[in-house]
Amino acid sequence: MNGAATRSGSANAPLAGVRILDLCRVVSGPFGSLLLADLGAEVIRIESVPTGDPAAIDPSRLSEDEAFNWGLSRNKHSVSINLKSERGRELFYGLVAQADVVLDNFRPGVTTRLGIDRATLAEHNPSIVTCSLTGFGGDGPWSTMPAYDPIVQAMCGTMNYTRLAPDQPPVRWGIPIGDLYAGIFSAMGTVGAIIERDRTGVGQHIDVSMLDVMLALNTYRVPQALTFGEEPLPAPFEGGQGTVPFGNFECADGWVAICISQRMWPAAAEVMGRPDFLADERFSTGPARHAHRDALVAELQKVFKARSADWWQEHLMAAGVVCGKVTSVADVFVHPQVRDRGMSVDITDEFGRTATVAGDALRFSDPATWRAPRQVGADTALVLQSLLGLEPSQLEQLGSDGIVHAGDPNGGIPLCDRSAPSASGREVKSSGGPLRGVTVLEMNGDEPSKAFAAQLLADFGADVIRVERPYGQVVEPYPDESREASFRAGLNRGKRSVIADLKTQEGRDFLLGLASHADVVLDNYRPGVLGRLGLDYDSLREVNEQLISTSITGFGHSGPWSSYPAFDNAIQALGGGMSVSVDHTRPDVPIRWGNPIGGLTGAMFAALGTLAALRLRDLNGHGQKLDISLLDSQVALLSYRAPQAVTVGKEFLPEPRRGGTGSLPFGVFRTADDRWFTICITPQFWAPFCRAAGHPEWIDDPRFATEPLRRANDEALYELVEPSFLVRTAQEWEELYYSLKLPGAIVLNIEEAFSHPQAVARRMRLQLKDPDISREIEVAGVVLKLSDAASTDNISIPGVDTVQVAAEFGLPAPDVEIRRPSERWRGTEPSAAEAAI
């Protein structure tokens, strides 16, 4: 744990005393509020008043729908109020006056129609923090369009190069990352806004767009495509930094994902029994393997089929070579590392029913205190009596009038004491972001798991200082100048840079000097590395007791796999998502999502955890160590799937033509101009979809009249739908769907995604000056657009800020050589002017 385990909702939790009213439904918002509950917030779900008699509870088993709810609504209260009634809104306003945060994921305009928009709520509580999570954001030409996860995945640019080959269909990642990642960002924004409110007494509104989030995850891909004209192509056998061998390989009884760097290559060849690979000029070095990738892949496909996936995983990982078995959702929760890290948790309800849920990846809460979700409205009486002082007779009358539903007059877990904010005596001023005045030291390297986390903290206003290796100590050089510049710009916006040679005493002393004045140290070294350097958390605490250390590793600092190496491809495989991500024409082949979401997910959890740790330090004055595991973070994304797969026994198979929300038809379809169009037709869109397709006769066709019938006859349906899309171009289909407000979108490439009018309107495309190239470089914009946010428009050459930072911290500047990264490819020596940068 991050220090000692703390009880969710206790006085030692980061969000102790914070009360949240959660209006969210389905996945994205409830996942965000679940993360906030794990950080100690008291979350009260505001649910609709059920119509008719509530469904009977089977005390002997969970239904599939109940299991879904257990995965997202544990540790939350349930209050049932009719917000469409004037009296219901009055009750809600009373709750708002005694709350800190209101979350919603309604479509834009709904809160205004209901009379619960931010302006109205602020009249009842001026310091309230509000967060609206929508598909496309609160403004822009697509703001009112229906948005589902497949749509934002198609529009973000990544699905375009998530394919088996350029001529194969684009593939959606089988877990709804558009929803889940937006939930993580809503939690980040909420914690940031609470930190800001603690300082100023002023609340604010957070506008989270699923599309903005998915665009931002392109990081280094954006400058590659927009600045250097290198639009990403499908590369299932090449890593983002050009690593080969890389990708998914079929074994005797399953699949494994590998990522083998130059350092690992000799050990891998030995395990494979192929020492000839090391002598073969085509495969002996990283650049040679990159140049002869196809030949090497052909050889490896034969090698891996000779043994089982478990054998390869065991022997390669034991040799220090990254290898992860493509694991099913249910099997994830019996993995020894998952179980040892507490990411598989059993909870029990009042009927004695027990289910397995995903654990807390940040480890701020104590699973021993977790409770199963309450039935709809089970806490209505408790909450309204505790907070509004209503009498039982008043509750009974409100129930009779259909204003509330009080499912359990006996109530449940008592409410926590709220720490109400007070702005009295405070000077309210522009803050420059919630983390203004916070210094973050980011240890060297451009790995997305760490660099993206630090960039998110910079977006919140932190002063992020990259501590770089000297020029000659680059371990895995980039294959070309444009890729180096793209990683540097796409992952390091808004940071400063110093150089410290940690192999020398001078460099270590400089780092310790920086740490003595810093607030956070962020690293992704393998466990034990910093200890050998004398720079582990205990050593850093000796110079700064209030320091927060956020360590990001593949498998964490504990458990049987803690010492194993990890790269994104293996994390995606081990985390369950790869097992359900396939091309609908090749459902037997698992596919890696084109962006490194194994690392990026860990980065988001690291940023959220660091924000929470900073808030906790504000409360108790203590620093701590955060142990962030990429695998834990992937497992957390299985939230609602965990109880369904493990407890109910639902088998999650690849279903590229069926959506999780009853969507069918669903997926990608080729159009007249040989492009791909994505649709997600839930039952309410069935009739307008048929009319848009020019086939109104499908509406009442007895094979397709209902959603269950469409599922039973999906082959016949797709035989009709497939050719129907060939009568128009992709652009014509999008224009038609846009006019009818149907859920559909073109599968865009990166250039198109960042030129889309919604992306432009939301300022998701930035042009920044890079001192190492002759033109401006384009990067993804800031997702969480908080008021008074700090400027994040600089990109630094490695080490360029060493002298200035040393002076600011009162430290002697180490003697370092500052060289432009481009020299590695241009073969030029720095001019006198450049050397003096």
Distance from chain centroid for Cα 558: 23
Q: At what angle do helices 265-272 and 309-318 cross, to 10 degrees?
A: 140
Alpha-carbon distance 28 to 208, whole Å?
11
Whether 179 sits among the annotated catalytic residues: the reply is: yes
Residues 6+ apart with CB under 8 A from 756: 155, 748
Two structure tokens written together for 435 = 């983390």
Distance from chain centroid for Cα 567: 17
Q: Catalytic one among 100, 104, 179, 519?
A: 179
Question: Could you tell me where the beta strands, DSSP code E, fall in 178-260?
Answer: 205-209, 246-250, 255-259
Q: Beta 744-746 vs 765-769: how paired, if at all?
A: unpaired
**What single-letter DSSP state applies at residue 376?**
T
Please state, in angstroms and as integers, the Cα–Cα distance from residue 20 to each residue in 16, 36, 45, following that order: 11, 9, 8
* Cis peptide, bond prior to residue 665, ω within 30 of zero: yes
Nearest to 590 by CA among 254, 310, 261: 254
Burial of 7 (0-12, 13-18, 19+ CB in 10 A): middle
Q: At what angle do helices 380-388 and 86-96 cross, to 10 degrees?
A: 60
Two structure tokens written together for 393 = 């007779």
| Contact between 353 and 59 (Cβ < 8 Å) | yes
Alpha-carbon distance 259 to 697, whole Å?
51
At residue 749, the 3 state secondary structure works out as: coil
State the SS3 of 21-67.
EECCCCCHHHHHHHHHHHCCCEEEEEECCCCCCCCCCCCCCCCHHHH
- Token match 């994304």: residue? 637
Two structure tokens written together for 757 = 């009018």
| Length of the chain counted residue by residue | 837
Catalytic (active-site) positions: 179
